[in-house]
Amino acid sequence: MESLAIKTKLNTLTVCLTLALAGMLAGCHDDDDDDHQEESPPSQVKDAAYYQKMAKEAAAKMSIEEKLNMIMGPGMNMGNGDVQITNLKNDVSGVAGYINGVKSDKLDIPATKLADGPAGLRINSTRSGSSETYYATAWPIGSLLASSWDTQLVAEVGKAMGEEIKEYGVDFILAPGMNIQRNPLNGRNFEYYSEDPLLSGKIAAAMVDGVESNQVGTTIKHFVANNSETNRNSIDTLVSPRAMREIYLRGFQIAVEESQPWAVMSSYNKLNGTYTNERRDLLTDILRNEWDFKGLVMSDWFAGTPKLTAWKQFKAGNDLIEPGGEMEALKASYDKGDITEADVTVNVEHILSQVFQSPSYNNYAANNKPDLEQHRALARQAAAESMVLLKNDGQALPLTPRLKLASFGVSQIETIKGGTGSGQVNNESTIMLAEGLQQQYSVDESLTAFYRDYYAQNKVEHPGFVSSIPSYFTCEDPAVDVSVIESAAQNNDAALITIGRIAGEGVDRTNTRGDYLLTENELNLIKNASDAFHAAGKKVVVVLDVSAIVDTTEWADKVDAILLSYLPGQEAGHAITDVLSGAVNPGGKLAQTIPQYYADVPSATTFPGKDLNGDGTPDEIDYNDDIYVGYRYYTTFSKPVAWPFGFGLSYTTFAYDGATVESNTLSNGAKGAVTLSVSVTNTGSVAGKEAAQVYISAPEVKLKKPALELKSFSKTDSLQAGANQKLTFTIPAKTLASFDPQKNQWIVEPGTYKAWISPSSDVAGRDPVTFNVSEEIVVSNTTPDALALPAGVNPADFVTVSQ
């Protein structure tokens, strides 16, 4: 299957800009626009080179003050007139930041508006002086979307998200987030896609292309090795160059090379001793020179030490400091000669080459009327299709509609739609599970009323960490009398238990009860409900309305079915009910492993870092797991897991037949590829989609290899019972390659490769196909010693997981 359906980006852009330059859209910005018109006949493709030239010409007309003012954001705008934004037109309330524009007798470049975030556009839903509302769609969280393994679906969501960005007058979205889910306790895992870089990269590329098909920008973030939240503003991440290349950079590389996002956001943390936003090897040598990134790089908000060393960020290739506001310090550095006009001009040109494509620059008249109804339907479909059915003994699910359900858990009352912090969304309304269930089932009203009252009386308010972020509420599940459960078992056909967990920016989760582990009340409820309902010959189903994975080992054996819904967005209640009832057959598969115990996670011993100065907060985090992140670890070291990476059940079954190597052109070297195929048949009785995965086991010559690595995947169309589809997987040499840190090269080592085309990373009992590589292929040479560890530190000093 084509990794992405949306490839209209450039063509649409061409038409739009051609019109703009022909003066058919209101407003001309540059006094020399007429010259552009002459130089650029309407048929000219407005590609990267075109915008780079345009940016160069404009930069040549800017004074040094205008340049410094563009690269330094205007400061944090709290909406009280507290910052001056140069040449701001049509402000949008609630955006996170701006790029200053230019207004002179030579140029008229409006300010550019940047808004969060990964689960949908975060802007304020009301604006002073307007009676209109500006609600955005709260989409399923990143982890749920990635569980679809469906790049087409993700691109569709991106396209709809992009329409909201554009029609509400925003230029760039600060998303997608795509850090690797190294450890299940990272508080921001919900914004991210996967523990695997290939899946993260392909899903991110689809999202970028979907959003940008609207001629608005994306900002992939947080670049890079920002895989925990504790002390995020100054923690130093120590990681080997090989793990950097193969795990932490790889997804970003795929997204950049396949979809050229308009922007990249550098991260808060230090990487091997230096803030990422001050690393030239990262932001210029790797990102621009090796990967050919053509967009702009911005800092994360207040990241690093912009007051002291803004100039270092700019020289490294961090083109824009956000939210900014440190002009005096920057001017002082300029006056001292720390940074020259030539340096700054490079940053300005990177910024302008993207700004010139933006709706604000092109005077796009936002209509403030995105198609929220259509997006509601898509949010519901995307959430339901992506959910992961972990367990379904005795075909407990689907539960026939109109059965009588006993629904337990406060999360049916306050169903969690998304995470907190900059990734939250101001949507109009969220469908709670209790409401969704009512539309398809006969629900035990007295039980639901008990939870409704309990929630109303016991909910705890958590204010947003900045004023523009609203409060959220939590409520721990109460103890429920056994007598209540027993009578529910008599009066209903099945039990549904919903477990909820919220998480968010700035705080990591903990391996404690009420967080990663279930509370005593939750465990008792599961046990007592299972006893009572099973005694009555009835089923028990658990729904996990969780920001990220939780422990299942303590209780999974007690229940019949487990649905991992993650945080499904604003249509949560409908989407979960659609899966419970079988209206939608879930096709999701785990984008991260669920271990048996948290202690099994290879990074458990180093997360969230070590406190070096005794102030109670970690200052350094050692990536002791090296390249063995997630299933790479569990499969290599034969560690049993609760649910393997890539795993997910369906209401139907699929057979894989005729796995074969269609062609092998790897003898052509770096340009070669291997192509595999398989026939997938729906062997059950209802329609469904299947995500097939290709895992490779590579020979070890100089380099150790994980037992399995995901190298390709593809999702079938919806197959009717009995139908089949041939899936083809092309794996280029580049994707097969491993990183040789001694030689700074990506290489494919010679030998026999085994490939499993499999429904999950549990390939036991399946026969691999094989192909050969006759001699080492050097796929590419990389920047010598890029991202080296600090002087005197060797991977052996901190890597504890190695073969």
Residue 469 or 576: the one with the smaller Cβ distance to ligand BGC is 469
Helix, strand and coil in the chain, % to nearest 5: 30, 20, 50
Q: CA of 336: how far to CAs of 65, 313, 330, 342, 517, in Å?
A: 15, 16, 10, 15, 55
In sequence order, which ranges of 476-618 are alpha helices (DSSP H)? 482-491, 520-535, 572-581
Residue 608 or 688: the one with the smaller Cβ distance to ligand BGC is 608
Q: How far is the CB of 86 from ligand BGC (least distance, A)?
A: 20
Number of residues that bind ligand BGC (CB under 6 A): 8
Q: How far is the CB of 265 from ligand BGC (least distance, A)?
A: 7
Residue 249 or 469: the one with the smaller Cβ distance to ligand BGC is 469
**Active-site pick, 150, 300, 545, 578:** 300
Half-sphere exposure of 180 (CA within 13 A, CB side): 27
What does DSSP say about strands 691-697 and 738-740: parallel, antiparallel, or unpaired?
unpaired
Give the count of beta carbons closer than 10 Å to the beta carbon of residue 145.
30
Q: How far is the CB of 78 from ligand BGC (least distance, A)?
A: 13
- The C-alpha atoms of residue 747 and residue 733 are separated, in whole angstroms, by 9
End-to-end CA distance of the chain: 36
Task: Answer whether 120's CB lies under 8 Å from 139's CB.
Answer: yes
Q: How far is the CB of 224 from ligand BGC (least distance, A)?
A: 13
The binder of ligand BGC chosen from 149, 301, 311, 364 (CB under 6 A): 301
Task: Answer whether 576's CB lies under 8 Å from 566's CB.
Answer: no
Instruction: Lay out the site mask for ligand BGC across 255-294 (x = CB under 6 A, - = otherwise).
Output: ----------------------------------------
Q: How far is the CB of 221 from ligand BGC (least distance, A)?
A: 6
Residue 300 or 762: the one with the smaller Cβ distance to ligand BGC is 300
Q: Which residues contact 551 (CB under 8 A, 6 or more apart)?
A: 516, 517, 518, 597, 598
Residue-by-residue DSSP string for 236-300: EEE--HHHIIIIITHHHHHHHHHH--SEEEE-SSEETTEEGGG-HIIIIIIIIIIT---SEEE--
- The C-alpha atoms of residue 329 and residue 615 are separated, in whole angstroms, by 29
The binder of ligand BGC chosen from 30, 66, 116, 626 (CB under 6 A): 116
Peptide bond into 117 cis (omega under 30): yes
What does DSSP say about strands 404-408 and 442-443: parallel, antiparallel, or unpaired?
parallel
Q: How far is the CB of 294 from ligand BGC (least distance, A)?
A: 21
The binder of ligand BGC chosen from 20, 58, 88, 96 (CB under 6 A): 96
Q: How far is the CB of 174 from ligand BGC (least distance, A)?
A: 4
Q: Which amino acid would we find at residue 90? A: N
Please confirm, yes or no, whether 171 is among the known catalytic residues.
no
Rule CB under 6 A: say whether 174 interacts with ligand BGC. Answer: yes
Say whether 737 sits in a helix, a strand or coil.
coil
Rule CB under 6 A: say whether 422 interacts with ligand BGC. Answer: yes
What does DSSP say about strands 745-748 and 738-740: parallel, antiparallel, or unpaired?
antiparallel
Residue 115 or 254: the one with the smaller Cβ distance to ligand BGC is 115
Residue 221 or 288: the one with the smaller Cβ distance to ligand BGC is 221
Residue 299 or 677: the one with the smaller Cβ distance to ligand BGC is 299
The contact set with ligand BGC (CB under 6 A) reads: 96, 116-117, 174, 221, 300-301, 422
Q: Which residues are catalytic?
A: 300
